[in-house]
Amino acid sequence: MKNVKKLLVLACLGCLGFGTAKLLKTDAAQEKLFALLGEDTYLAILDKARLLGDLLMWPIDFVRALLP
């Protein structure tokens, strides 16, 4: 039962993270963040986030290539 609960919590956190990422990628959210953080901070974070996203794709591509 404990394991099921843990899995549920993890699934909820995953969905929340995915939803937040999707939301943050919308044009409206980006405009708001830009105004809120200021362009220098916003662009610095954006740059790092893009590089992180690119690097995360490596293991994903690697695993995808192994799929039948």
List contacts with other proteins (CB under 8 A).
27, 30-31, 34-35, 38-39, 42-43, 46-47, 50-51, 54-55, 57-58, 61-62, 64-65, 67-68
For the bound state, the minimum distance from the C-beta of residue 11 to other proteins, rounded and expressed in Å, comes to 26
Residues 44-56 as b/e (b if ≥16 CB within 10 A, e otherwise) read eeeeeeeeeeeee
Residue with Cβ nearer other proteins (5 or 64)? 64
Q: Which is nearer to other proteins, 4 or 65 (CB)?
A: 65
Q: Is 13 exposed, middle or buried, given 0-12, 13-18 or 19+ CB atoms closer than 10 A? A: exposed
